[in-house]
Structure 1
């Protein structure tokens, strides 16, 4: 390609005040600086307004076409014709090579058809009182930092990604590729998590992953479901960030895109139980005070509905801790694995019971631990004195090695207990070599326990409050297992 990028715009969108650059000129300058950093070389960026000559031959020899959308652009025949010609002349997937930057708000239905499905880089702010677009001319003010620069970084990384794909396609034309990049499905989020989602997306791309969706999803529910399902089928992992905003509901649907993507990911695993290709990580914001009733109901359903949690891990921890977990899962999956197994006190001559409890319930849990030890059982206790990543690794390793899992419910709530029960359900997918012999939930002193609350989990429900001694209850449970002790 003779030029990496052509920026397609109208002269009116680049009119400059005295002593200042035009808006498009500044954008091209900033993009040049950012791309030089990520590409490791200076890109060849050409600016072409509707008054400039732009031949079909030039378009054929251009990698990326970036169009600056505005009301002026939509009414410019020459600018629209450039998009049309570029789409016709592209040898490779033009959808990955067409970018739209919105200088001001342009309604979806007014955008050129070739650009509608592309990601929108909205480099403006909105005045919520008037509804008008606010164009940035102070690039270094606080508002620009939160909107303009974050979107510019996104644009730079996505253009970089497309240029790399284009280079690979040119090299491999007619040649079967030896290596295919792994794909991560990074689900859409509500407005409150857009920035954080983009940060995660960029990091995944930097580590060589292909990230989907890499375009705007269709606005009607039927088409959106079809595209999401296809992209989940290409992915090895789906990552879902659940914040305080429920998200947009597509036309003809009754649930948001965020909700729908989680449901379809679960359905893929459920419909193909022998194919465990798709791993699922779900992060739920632990601070839900500002969520509306609809969002709170959605989160409660995630935590309670077993059908939406197949092959999934739920994290209700600070987002930075979740990001570290995601890094560990993708980049350092086997680090320290041998040392972990040695750190867990497994006794091959005894029944190994993993006693799972929260720090707030440690005092009562120790009573249960002592009763189990008196009965000749090896107790694998919960640990707390390490960082989140190390504790998660230990927890998953214990799930692989245990014979029996016992969850203690004292001051913790039902959702915490259900999440731990789900951990026991997912244990076979962690590489267990033998079935779990038994599972139980034990209620602490003063805690009412009802077996019907856990009917979905095939678990024994015991209590420290019953008239029979705790040791008798435990003895009955242990002796009912399919293992001699």
Structure 2
């Protein structure tokens, strides 16, 4: 389908008031970050129009834009913008064929702050929410992000924004004419994994871990179920869970404090988590001596108990689960659990005759001598003397992938960001926008699963072009500039001393 715009963003002006310490409002920052992320995937900037820019009478976002984003908040739900969009949502419900492109939903719900489910339009209520806020365990309240850089933002805001950007990219990409010809569809059908994986609900205490697992599964072509919001009290929820499980060979359950604490037992997500686990147990029992169905249950190693009752509840759950057919309880680090999921899925793929590619980065070294050199293919020959010098000085050098499909390349990039001790961005012919996008990737690394601080970060410039030095210094990047474009080992030595531990 041909659209005038790639993205229509609906929001209320109340949510875009200027933030302290920033030159723009919350929505303007969101739009800028989203544009940057999607442009890295599309290789061009998406054409975005917002509800505040519409002057055309009767503008129907579903006719004009490939993707529609609802940036929701308590203020948005009662705003004039939402009232207008609700009219088009009502029309859409009468013709649901327009809701999807190549089976992918065109509508996305990004939540700036928490909105009670009953206040949503029925169609919005069922959409999976990309929550750009966090649960504060100290106050028990939902916390809105008004600072976009920092440990909490990197682990929550950026992780979910990356998810949103990637999912939007997939819709736009599949709508492009060059991506929907018959040859492409045949190739995609033959090469892409088609299994569904059931990822059960969890409490807020393990929401980050759940999103990390969801993201990795989706990046490798798996359809993660459930793909809509469920309520434990809805009459059709049990049927929906059973129907989804019937499409899957594996279900994944993350069990933490919220599962055993009386404080959380009446929360809707905890009730749903327990219901999904119960139905998965019943479903697994019906699969004995038939098509294999596996359940993986992960419990964080650092889980502590407030009293003996909680400990007994967890021990009873583990004992009962381990005795069941096809179930495995794992109390291991999340990275090891992710690796186990990969091995399990690789086995499934082999049985079906599919290849399953997940690039594995080398583990981070104890010496600190593991450095990721981020370089574009256009600059690799100019960067080679730097790489050679690092290797001669005992550094293990990680490099990006330059071939493969976009999911493989990005997965390799994320793995390298997680594995390295230090990063060096090399710039010769690339634009400063490219450099800044890589800086942003490094800042977002905790959201990709990175566990420890980076020892050193640097930008190596092989030309005398002007750059925004203050921007990079603000995020503690060293600037290394060569003279006359030639590599001189003396100029990189201060950085190497800094990162040698």
Larger deviation: 66-75 or 298-307? 298-307
Alignment of 1:171-182 (within 5 A): 178=189, 181-182=194-195
> Which residue in 2 is equivalent to 1:99?
108
Match of 2:333 among 318, 338, 344: 318
Q: Deviations over 1:21-61 (max 9, x none)?
A: 22212111101111223445432322222864464554224
Alignment of 1:315-354 (within 5 A): 315-331=330-346
Contact 1:249 1:257 in 2 (8 A): no
Larger deviation: 29-38 or 242-251? 242-251
Cα gap change, 1:80 to 1:298, in 2 (>3 Å): farther
Q: Taking structure 1 as the reference length, what is the TM-score of the superposition?
A: 0.59
Matches of 2:323 and 2:91, distance apart in 1: 43
Matches of 1:251 and 1:109, distance apart in 2: 14
Q: Deviations over 1:81-132 (max 9, x none)?
A: 2244156346344693322222233222222222112222332356788887
Q: Taking structure 2 as the reference length, what is the TM-score of the superposition?
A: 0.57
TM-superposed deviation, 1:265: 1.6
Cα gap change, 1:283 to 1:252, in 2 (>3 Å): closer
Cα gap change, 1:182 to 1:41, in 2 (>3 Å): farther
> Which residue in 1 is equivalent to 2:215?
202
1:63 matched to 2:57? The reply is no
Contact 1:103 1:122 in 2 (8 A): yes
TM-superposed deviation, 1:202: 0.8
TM-superposed deviation, 1:301: 3.4
Matches of 1:251 and 1:196, distance apart in 2: 19
Q: Which has the higher contact order (CA 8 A, sep 6+)?
A: 2
* SS in structure 1 at match of 2:212: helix
Q: Deviations over 1:357-404 (max 9, x none)?
A: xxxxxxxxxxxxxxxxxxxxxxxxxxxxxxxxxxxxxxxxxxxxxxxx
> Which residue in 1 is equivalent to 2:256?
243
Matches of 1:133 and 1:246, distance apart in 2: 20
Matches of 2:201 and 2:11, distance apart in 1: 29
Alignment of 1:404-419 (within 5 A): none
1:309 matched to 2:324? The reply is yes
Match of 1:156 among 165, 171, 176: 165
Matches of 2:133 and 2:322, distance apart in 1: 41
Report the count of equivalent residues. 332
Alignment of 1:207-218 (within 5 A): 207-218=220-231
Matches of 1:308 and 1:317, distance apart in 2: 19
> Which residue in 2 is equivalent to 1:284?
299
Cα gap change, 1:307 to 1:167, in 2 (>3 Å): farther
Q: Deviations over 1:198-233 (max 9, x none)?
A: 111111111111111222212416433222111111
1:224 matched to 2:198? The reply is no
> Which residue in 2 is equivalent to 1:146?
155
> Which residue in 2 is equivalent to 1:461?
none
1:47 matched to 2:50? The reply is yes
> Which residue in 1 is equivalent to 2:430?
none
Cα gap change, 1:281 to 1:48, in 2 (>3 Å): same
TM-superposed deviation, 1:188: 1.5
Q: Deviations over 1:430-455 (max 9, x none)?
A: xxxxxxxxxxxxxxxxxxxxxxxxxx
Cα gap change, 1:129 to 1:235, in 2 (>3 Å): closer
> Which residue in 1 is equivalent to 2:381?
none
> Which residue in 2 is equivalent to 1:22?
25
Cα gap change, 1:194 to 1:7, in 2 (>3 Å): same
TM-superposed deviation, 1:68: 1.7
Q: Deviations over 1:276-314 (max 9, x none)?
A: 242222222333323666654453333332697221222
Matches of 1:332 and 1:39, distance apart in 2: 32
Contact 1:266 1:308 in 2 (8 A): no
Contact 1:236 1:279 in 2 (8 A): yes
* SS in structure 2 at match of 1:184: strand
> Which stretches in structure 1 are left out of the alignment for 5+ residues?
336-485
Larger deviation: 214-223 or 181-190? 214-223
Greater Rg by CA: 1
Contact 1:221 1:251 in 2 (8 A): no
Cα-Cα RMSD: 3.7
> Which residue in 2 is equivalent to 1:273?
288
* SS in structure 1 at match of 2:34: helix
Contact 1:101 1:121 in 2 (8 A): yes
Cα gap change, 1:146 to 1:236, in 2 (>3 Å): same
> Which residue in 2 is equivalent to 1:193?
206
Cα gap change, 1:289 to 1:250, in 2 (>3 Å): closer
Matches of 1:37 and 1:127, distance apart in 2: 32
> Which residue in 1 is equivalent to 2:36?
33
Alignment of 1:430-469 (within 5 A): none
